[in-house]
A and B are shown apart, each in its own frame.
Chain A
């Protein structure tokens, strides 16, 4: 199973809506996890079980999807959202997508 994230890089202005895609090569689970990795930091859990925000995650972040197509949406981009976002599923082992870099 391969997780393909698109776009590779997303360049937006503050306040704009960001839509990040994660597509699985075959259905694995209706659950997907998203992580946020800011420059020079370890990844941080952002969204689990497709749509549930982890503790402390602002409500501008939301997740959706099922089957093979999943989406992370940032409703109104803030400067502190500059990061690489990774999706992840489990198929016996853990699989990560290649990441989407969000720039301002």
Chain B
């Protein structure tokens, strides 16, 4: 069975960076894109970007370009998302989610979420 397990909660000061990990199991890690989605408190889902584990290629939402780095380590089936220059607006739960191409792309398995709190 597919499982995505994320790293634990983080508390960061404004201006710092955070790196969230996502460990995949139960499938061939390089077969599916991994996407990152965040959710601010009481808000909806906000797509951040995705990585193709096979090639390492990435694509990020314009609002995060220059601030987000997505990487992977295929030897340990891990995907990472680093966000720099944090502000209080980055306080959110960050999710990794596996993409699956049915007729169109959907996110069929999600990690449990990582709460990142940005506070001075």
Contact = CB atoms under 8 A, between A and B. Distances in A.
A90 interface: yes
Interface of B: 35, 37, 44-47, 50, 59, 61, 95, 97, 102-113
B112 A86 contact: no
Contact of A48 (B50, B106, B109): B106
Interface of A: 29, 31, 33, 35, 42-45, 48-49, 52, 54, 84, 86, 88-90, 93-99
A93 B102 contact: no
Q: Name the prevailing secondary structure of the A interface residues.
A: strand
Nearest to B4: A42
Contact of A94 (B35, B103, B108): B35
A1 to B, nearest CB: 12
